[in-house]
Structure 1
Amino acid sequence: MLSPAILALNQLFSKPFRSVLWKMLGITLLLLLLVGIGMQAGLEYLLSMESFLPGWAETGASILAGLGLFFGLGFLIIPVSAIVAGLYLDEVSYIVESTYYPHEAHGRDLPMMDAIVQTIRFLGVVIGVNLLVLILIPFLGLGVPLFFVANGYLLGREYFEQAALRFRSREQVKELRSRHGAKIFLSGLLISLFVVVPFLNLLTPLFATAFMVHVHKWVSGSKPSRIESPVV
């Protein structure tokens, strides 16, 4: 599990990845900016409706709204990364396969409609589960563990499926995932740890996609070629 993660990190800033990195980073930041502007406009509207509050209460409400906006954008990193990963899945996967598995057949690009459906499904599940986690946190008092367990499972499953579907049918992917569930879950936990690191989490789509290409190869019995470090 650590070996695939190291390979993905090693390639993260490599020359073949740079153009994809800047495109992914640019789209991720743009989406977060647009969502942030929308959230800010909504909060300002709500606060303007509370003009009857005393001055100190308005100030407190503004501070809480700012904190809510900050943590809200942090929460949105995961669903936004799901959208961006869907856009560049095939390009990133092809680079990883060409670099580390040059003597094996490349995966097939997912049909556009399948990729869109997969991304929308991923997005909906991620948002739904994380909203449920946020709702349950005050009642269970298990915020951090619950966050990592939920997202470890979701991110592991979805990113693995995206990588594996380039080579297998959906039924085969499901069977492979059931046989290697623990490895995939632990891989998802690593991605969820990556998500909570400020600034580095903006690269989640690139890291998670590359990482799960290696994980799929690993559980399939393939080994990366002995090549020099691609970081140049």
Structure 2
Amino acid sequence: MIIEAARLSGSNLLSAASRSVLFKSLGLTILLLIGLWFGLGELFAMTAMPWLEALLPGLPDWAGWAGTLAAIIAGIGLALVLALFIAPVTAAMAGLYLDEIAEVIEARDYPADQPGRPMPLGQSIRQSLGFLLVVGLGNLFALVLLIVPGINLVAFFVVNGYLLGREFFEFAAMRFMSPADAKRLRARNSTTVFFAGLIIAGFLSVPLLNLLTPMFAAGMMVHLNKMIAAKGGGLSRQWREA
């Protein structure tokens, strides 16, 4: 079920029906990451650079290369930190575009089913901000664990697998039920949702491809919700009859 949901979502990424959402999601994701890059660069310039400039005059003349080396190290550090921000940015994008992605998938792959109900704009923004905060804190925790050999990579996959799986699944489920029911549905299928989240975390770990994570993850969880519902473990009777 999980592999099939991932396969269907992957095939949806470049379909003609999804192209408009893809370009919007990809464009905004890139703009946010560029903004973060410059913001982190400014933060470094305001904090670390004054200390570095105060240190360098006391060094011998031949040590001028230290400034260049420090700039290179800082650039690598900024890139690593930015990589950890991709997950929270992905989370924010999901809240903005999940309904559009879901509508395309539901109309194309499940035309006989009752369509989902888009989240009100205010609720969608609140969910996105909450998602951004939760995933951001989770990845900050994973960043701390980077200094622990053998745990760093595991921490990245476990943290993002759990958080991304949980939040994307509940986002998709809330098109058909209340937030409380979506949480209960996720809890009943927690193992399935976690392993689906690990696939999303794997997708997120691939450079450049990870820019498509909002589309892939949202699509995958829409399919997974549909598959769980088809097995009788998803939509409540009351919702089906509504």
TM-score, normalization by structure 1: 0.91
The amino acid that maps onto 1:35 is L
Distance 1:222 1:86 in 2: 27
Distance 2:112 2:224 in 1: 18
**1:21 paired to 2:11:** no
The amino acid that maps onto 1:97 is E
The amino acid that maps onto 2:130 is R
Deviation at 1:141, TM superposition (A): 4.0
Distance 1:74 1:18 in 2: 25
Deviation at 1:143, TM superposition (A): 0.3
Q: Rg larger in 1 or in 2?
A: 2
The question of whether the paired residues in 1 share the 8 Å contact of 2:163 and 2:197 is answered with yes
Partner of 2:81: 72
Deviation at 1:90, TM superposition (A): 0.8
Higher relative contact order (CA 8 A, sep 6+): 1
Deviation at 1:69, TM superposition (A): 1.2
**1:47 paired to 2:49:** yes
Partner of 2:225: 216
Deviation string, structure 1 residues 128-163 (Cα, Å, up to 9, x no partner): 111112113324640001110111000000000000
**1:205 paired to 2:203:** no
Q: How does 1:131-210 map to 2 (within 5 A)?
A: 131-139=140-148, 141-210=150-219
Consecutive unaligned residues of structure 2, counting only runs of 5 or more, are: 233-242
Consecutive unaligned residues of structure 1, counting only runs of 5 or more, are: 224-232
Identity in percent: 43
Partner of 1:230: none
The amino acid that maps onto 2:4 is S
Deviation string, structure 1 residues 68-116 (Cα, Å, up to 9, x no partner): 1111221111111111111111111100111110000111010111111
- 1:160 aligned counterpart, secondary structure: helix
**1:92 paired to 2:93:** no
Distance 2:149 2:137 in 1: 18
Deviation at 1:48, TM superposition (A): 4.0
Deviation at 1:169, TM superposition (A): 1.4
Distance 1:67 1:87 in 2: 30
Partner of 2:236: none
Distance 1:203 1:136 in 2: 26
Distance 2:231 2:20 in 1: 27
The amino acid that maps onto 2:157 is F
Deviation at 1:172, TM superposition (A): 1.6
**1:37 paired to 2:38:** yes
Deviation at 1:56, TM superposition (A): 3.7
Name the Cα RMSD after superposition: 1.5
TM-score, normalization by structure 2: 0.88
The question of whether the paired residues in 1 share the 8 Å contact of 2:25 and 2:214 is answered with yes
The amino acid that maps onto 1:174 is K
- 1:106 aligned counterpart, secondary structure: coil
The question of whether the paired residues in 2 share the 8 Å contact of 1:191 and 1:204 is answered with yes
Equivalent of 2:129 in 120, 127, 138:
120
Distance 1:220 1:169 in 2: 15
Distance 1:113 1:20 in 2: 20
Alignment length (residue pairs): 223
